Amino acid sequence: MSSETFTTAMFLMAAIISAGVLINAIFPVIYTLSDTIASSTHQADERLRVDVKIVTTYASAASEKAEIWIKNVGTQRIAETDLEDSDVFLGAVGDFDRLSYTAGVVADGEWTYAIAESSANGYWDAGETLHITGQTTDLPDASGSVAYFQFVLMTGLSRSTEFTVSD
């Protein structure tokens, strides 16, 4: 009977040690996975909250300027510093250029913006309209030609449109 007790005790100690080793091996993996899942969920939530819609467009062949109005239809406000780091592509379909942001008056290859209903809080709030002005020699120079515009936010959200150029 003592040999059975000894054998049972040995099996019990082996099981406890194995459980401890297993917990020490699995717990860090579970912790890392939960951190990764939380980070991915936050990024997905942020992307779902940010949404914009191109409202209207206008381009002049004579001045080589285009004006685009974009509405923030999401629930997230967008910082003006993020707007300044956004990408703007403008030009003829198949022959467009990436414009550089400028805070002043636009010249060839540049774009600027103004928030139409700005509350002057440093953000493009939900429901506000962004007015983008861009200038490039890549715009079609004939009235009735088709121009291309694409706006890409820092989050990766992009909106594009094609529209007709006026005189």
Residue 58 — φ and ψ, nearest 5°? Answer: -155, 140
Instruction: Answer left, alpha or beta for residue 93, where phi above 0 means left and psi between -120 and 50 means alpha.
Output: beta
The 10s digit of each residue's pLDDT in 65-80 is: 999 999 999 999 999 9
**Residue 79: per-residue pLDDT:** 93
* CB of 93 closer than 8 Å to CB of 148: yes
pLDDT at residue 93 in the model: 94
| More reliable by pLDDT, 10 or 162 | 162
Given this model, what pLDDT does residue 89 score? Answer: 98
For residues 2 and 66, the model is more confident at: 66
**Cβ(76)–Cβ(46) under 8 Å?**
yes
The model's confidence at residue 9, banded by pLDDT at 50, 70 and 90, is confident
Mean pLDDT check: name the lowest of 21-25, 88-92, 109-113: 21-25
Can you give the pTM of this predicted structure? 0.74
The residue type found at 94 is: G
User: Taking 90 as the threshold, does the pLDDT of residue 17 lie above it?
Assistant: no
